Chains A and B, each alone.
Chain A
């Protein structure tokens, strides 16, 4: 083939290097966009997952989005309507693109359909990937499934909108709780406003509550005054600086920490305290 004069020749090496740069550049461009979208897709901190779900970031890695849990939930024998013979809406939903939950992953909204905490936990036993981990709801002593070990979230009471905190009589959440007197108990208090009535305040036990959301579903206020949040959202963390000195278990919590050097170093650190406290102008005059 004759080359036209004046036209720069493209050698094999140049073609190869350009091709590499071209595909590399486009690959990085596409990869960055894709990774950006994927990062965004997994940021949904308020999601309530099915029972026995792994910690959220591990769950997102492991869940294969097959929906077997949602189907098992919907078609569990207890959920079949006796009149029609057809299943009612299940607790677990599969996230769609517009939901604020990673697409295709299972979640539930307690105010719509709470978790009824089945004895046989069908959603967990059917999971093929291990994103719902049977071990998390298996009693280590008996080796049997234990619905009390479920941990989907934690119920939180808003005392401002809870009418029981106003002094009105309401124990809807307390009675709806499948672990009555364990997960929710009523705290009796004097109503000083009337002088002759009692408050029956619902109080959630952090350890016993499974986050099933039956309380949220039962709550009588317009927007529920008791609601389930993921534990990471609902709970604070005291950190290692604070410890209950009277509690052996709490001491173990901080006992194992690896201490860092927390001494403050500044200009004065090289001198002994007596030196700068006894000499110089402390008031800066």
Chain B
């Protein structure tokens, strides 16, 4: 296996696992590098960070939040809005490792080849996002935060696992047997939120159509395959807001037809071309 074929995959796992390790050390050994969890953290003991979607739900309940939480959400929004795009999902979120494993196993076991009748709209996550906010407002409790497998896995690593781990098994099985990329690609409202936040970020995958041999390896591994609609047709950026910038397509491409680049909004307001 060549390094260029696993580069981004390995980098992502390193980032995901280091973040979990830092959170873990923050609780168990009092390291002040990264304390708290993915809902809200303290970076280097000073800089507040917080999950903007959790903050939005909290605001929907009518809570009066302290400035630290709001500033933290703003910092995260700025980072993903300008640089990361939807990178939270593939570079930070720990559930990504669970669903990636399910997707990989699905390919290996060739479950994809067997026809399935279960169809879910990829837009369902946006409806769930809205419903999460409505339910939060009605019940006075951030609705997604009490069922979110992301925070359950994250807190499980930091503070110890509980019965919530069952939800992660459920998501693994759902992704493996029911719907391909079911959780991350269809249901997760946090993913939907990050899609909206990161719609106009700068770092995106550029497709060079001239180099493409139409091997379709990229489409096999892509968890949001709709965003790769230009493959072999047009040289342009992968501009779909659902792209998680995971770089797996860049990894598997042996023809140098895919690679990260900076979007230039000045020469093209839509950011689609270089």
Contact = CB atoms under 8 A, between A and B. Distances in A.
Interface string A27-53: 100110011011101100000000000
Contact of B65 (A37, A62, A94): A62
Interface string B161-172: 111101100000
16 contacts: A35-B135, A61-B140, A62-B58, A64-B145, A67-B27, A67-B36, A67-B37, A68-B42, A70-B159, A75-B27, A97-B152, A103-B152, A104-B146, A104-B151, A128-B48, A129-B63
Contacts of B160: 96
Interface in A106-138: 126-130
A93 B55 CA distance: 22
A185 interface: no
Contacts of A75: 27, 29-30
Given A61-B62, A71-B35, A37 B158 contact: no
Interface of B: 26-30, 35-37, 39-42, 48, 50-51, 54-55, 58, 61-66, 68-69, 72, 127-128, 131-132, 134-135, 138-143, 145-147, 151-152, 155, 158-164, 166-167
Given A31-B134, A64-B51, 20 more contacts: A30-B128, A30-B131, A34-B143, A38-B143, A62-B65, A64-B39, A64-B40, A65-B54, A66-B36, A68-B41, A71-B35, A87-B29, A87-B30, A94-B155, A98-B163, A126-B42, A127-B66, A128-B50, A128-B68, A130-B69
A275 interface: no
Which of A62, A66, A74, A126 has the most chain B CB atoms inside 10 A of its CB? A66
B63 A61 contact: yes
A58 B140 CA distance: 8
A40 to B, nearest CB: 10
A269 interface: no
B159 A103 contact: no
Contacts of A39: 139
B139 to A, nearest CB: 4
B27 A34 contact: no
A60 B64 contact: no
